[in-house]
Amino acid sequence: MTNHALKTLLLFLSSHAAFSYADSNQTATTPETTPKVVSSIYPLQQIANEIVGEPTDLIADSYLSPHHYSLKPSDINGLQDADIVLWIGSAMMPQLKNTIKNREKNENHTTITASTLPGIQLITEEKGHGHDDHGHGHDDHGHGHDDHGHGHDDHGHDHHESDLHNKAGEPIFYDPHLWLSTENAITIATALAAELGRIDSAHQARYEVNLAQFIAKINRTRETIRTQLAAEVPKPYFIFHNAYAYFEQEFGIKNQGVIRNHSAQQANTQHLNEIKNQLSGGAAACLFTEPQFESPIIKKLAEGSSVTVSILDPVGYSSTEQTGYAAILENLAKAVSQCPSREL
C-alpha cells in the first residue's frame, strides 16, 4: 500500500467513524419514540403508563361513567392512529366497537381486548340471570340485539354486548369491570409488555423491567389490602352500581345490595322502594355512591335511615393525589373499610 493509499484509507475510516459517532449521538439527543398506546379507561391507562414508562393516552377522560361516555372526534382519531389500543371489550364500552373494528384493517395496529386475553379471569353471568335482580329495565326493551351500534345509552343494552362466545356460538355475558382483580391487572400488563417488546424490540428489556416492577408492586398491594380488610372488617354496605364483584371476590367481602345495574341509566322504582325499606330497617351502615353521580336518588334513599353516604370510585379517575393502578384498589379498600368512620 502506498503512503497515499494508506492516508486515504485512514481518512476514510476516521471520517466514517466520525459519521457513525455523530449518528449515534443524534439518536441519544433526539427524544426516544415509543409506540403510541391508547387506553379506553383510566385503570388501563394507569397500567399502560407503568409498563411503557411514560404517560400514555386515555379515551374516557372524565368523571362520567365510561359505559355512557360519548366519543369525541379526537378520540376516534386517537384510536385510529394508535399503535396499540388497550380496552376491556364491547361489554364495557360498546361505543368503541366500530372504531376498533376499523383500525383492525391496518395490520400494523394491535388491539388488546382484555376480556379475551388468555388467562383472564371472568365473572360470567348466566343468560337471563344476575342483572334481573337489580335495575330491571332490560326486559322492558325486548332485548333488541339487532340495534347494535346505536341506542345503547338510551336503553342500557351494553349488558347484551359480548366479545366472547361459547362453542355453540352463543354470547357469554360477563361482568366487564374485570380490572378490579389484581390477577387480571397482571395478565393485562403482561400482554401489553409482550406486545410492546414485539413491535419495539429495541426497548424490550425496559418493558420487561417495568412489568416485573409492576407485578411486585401489585403483589405488595394485594397483601396490604388483605391485612387492612382483616383488621377493619367492612360494615354492611350498599353500592350504587354493580362494579365491584371482582374486588369483592378477591378480598372476600360482599355488598348487601345494588341500586342499579351498571348498564342502566335509571333504576327501577319498585327496586328503589325495596332498597329504601331495607335501609330504613337498618340493613346497611353505608351507602356508596360514585363520583360522577350527584344523584337525588341517593338522598331519597338515605332519608329516614342512619346510613352513611360515602363515595366509591371503581374507575379511580377522581383520585387526583395518587396515580397508578394500585392506588385505585387501595382507595376502594380504604373507603369500604373506613365507612362509617365513626359510629352513628
Give the shortest CB-253-to-Zn ion separation in angstroms: 18
In the complex with Zn ion, the residue whose CB is nearer, 156 or 197, is 156
Amino acid (one-letter) located at 85? V
- Residue 243 vs 301, nearer CB to Zn ion: 243
Q: How far is the CB of 200 from Zn ion (least distance, A)?
A: 32
Number of residues that bind Zn ion (CB under 5 A): 2
Q: Among all residues, whose Cβ is closest to Zn ion?
A: 262
Query: Least distance to Zn ion from the beta carbon of 138, Å?
Result: 15
Phi, psi at 28, each rounded to 5°: -75, -25
In the bound state with Zn ion, the residue whose beta carbon lies nearer, of 239 and 243, is 243
Which lies closer to Zn ion via its Cβ, residue 179 or residue 251? Answer: 179
**All three cell numbers of 52:** 411503557
Q: Which single residue is written with the C-alpha cell 362466545? A: 165
**What minimum distance in Å lies between the beta carbon of 314 and Zn ion?**
6
Residue 160 or 262: the one with the smaller Cβ distance to Zn ion is: 262
Instruction: Kindly state whether residue 134 participates in binding Zn ion, applying the rule CB under 5 A.
Output: no
Who contacts 69 (Cβ-Cβ below 8 Å, separation ≥6)? Answer: 59, 60, 62, 93, 95
The whole-angstrom separation of Cα 338 and Cα 228 is 10
Closer Cβ to Zn ion, 210 or 331, answer by number: 331
d(CA 255, CA 133): 14
Q: Does 243 bind Zn ion (CB under 5 A)?
A: yes
Q: Which stretch binds Zn ion (CB under 5 A): 158-166, 226-234, 257-265, 291-299?
A: 257-265
Which range, of 23-31, 132-140, 228-236, 237-245, touches Zn ion by CB under 5 A? Answer: 237-245
Nearer to Zn ion, 243 or 333 (CB): 243
Question: How many Cα atoms within 13 Å fall on the side-chain side of residue 233?
Answer: 3
88 lines the binding site for Zn ion (CB under 5 A): no
**Residue 149 Cβ vs Zn ion, minimum distance, rounded to whole Å:** 20
Per-residue cell: 257: 345490595
Q: Give the shortest CB-275-to-Zn ion separation in angstroms.
A: 18
- In the set 109, 160, 203, 262, which binds Zn ion (CB under 5 A)? 262
Q: Is 170 exposed, middle or buried (0-12, 13-18, 19+ CB in 10 A)?
A: exposed
Grid cell locating 16 = 466514517
Amino acid at 73: P
- Residue 54's Cβ-count burial label (10 Å; 0-12, 13-18, 19+) is exposed
The DSSP code sequence of 124-149 is EE-TT-SGGGTT--TGGGT--GGGTT
In the complex, which residues of this chain contact Zn ion (CB under 5 A)?
Answer: 243, 262
